[in-house]
Amino acid sequence: MSEEDDRDIIDQEIEMLGRIWKEACERAYYNLPAEYVLPEEMKIDPALRSHLEEREVSLYLRGFDGTVMNGASLELTDNEILNEIKKIPGLAELSVWVDDESGYSFTDNDVRQIGDMDRLVNLDLQIERHEIQFNSLSWLQGCRSIRKLRLVSFPDATGIIPSIRGLTTLQELVLEDMELDHQSLAAIGELTDLEIFRANGIFANNNCNFMVLSNLAQLRILSLESCSISEKHHQLFSQFPCLQEASLSDTMIGDSVVTFIGRCPQLKVLLMTGCPKVTEQGLETLKGCVSLKTLYVDTSTLTPQIVRMLSEIKSLESVVAHGKATDAVAQAIQKNGKRIWEVWGD
């Protein structure tokens, strides 16, 4: 059997798994009894199993028990689904979304099976309208290959985030819609190989100090949109020599933060709309950003002088200004940099 035939058989097996899941979802949509059971063993030549195990198989799983968005019901518990899913060799990508009002308790015991998936590279856990019962994420230590982790809407994140500090292979961490404390931030600060950290819509309680993130010297992308970061954390941005993209929109940062960001030699993208404490003095410091390509700002921070200064940054390819521009600013844009400027709100 040729190598091309081997690949065809593997593709057929993967396609079969997809059809099984799709059929279960379709039956649920029409309120029909639905079952999703993987074959106990893939009917595949043993000689080919190593090929399958070496291949990164991606499967998005939306597991639920109870009422789903379209009013249908899938007759499987999250635990049963995960028990079957983990039998897929080489599974590299898994997304578990719990969105129900059934009262089913999705607990550590249910999801700890994910820790058996040692080939898992990308894990997404999204909890919505669900009384989750997690004590820890320590079971993730079994995912020895994990590089990306996304956690959304965890009701008690302050108690579980510290348990991820041992995920030394992690390169990307995404946290959304949850509360963190200082211990949680400190644990994240120990993930020194992180290259991407997105914490959007995060509330950090009063004892938090974002400076504990200063050990993340490998960061290329940092997003703290709608987080409780403020002007007092300005020195944090002097610790990221590799930073290429920073998103700080809808925060209380001010000019001193912008000044430190302006010193990041590799910065290419900067988003800071909805930042009422940023003024034209802060924007003036961006003239030293020799690599900056994309900038999002509020029109309220612009003056004709700032428009001219930004238009003279040779690397800059796009400036998006939010809000209605004054006549003087609009004229300056027309005169100096119409090619790169875009105003949203006029």
Residues of the chain scoring pLDDT < 50 = 25, 27-78, 102
What pLDDT is stored for residue 6 in this prediction? 60
Specify the DSSP class assigned to residue 324: P
Strands 172-180 and 245-247: unpaired
Predicted local distance difference test score (pLDDT) of residue 242? 94
Residue 117 exposed, middle or buried by CB count within 10 Å (0-12, 13-18, 19+): buried
Q: Which two tokens stand for residue 336?
A: 């100096």
pLDDT at 10: 56
199 by Cβ neighbours in 10 Å (0-12 / 13-18 / 19+) ranks as buried
- What pLDDT does 289 receive? 87
DSSP string, 131-179: --B-S--GGGGG-TT--EEEEE--TTHHHHGGGGTT-TT--EEEEEEEE
In the chain, helix, strand, coil percent, each to 5?
A: 35, 20, 45
* pLDDT value for 35: 42
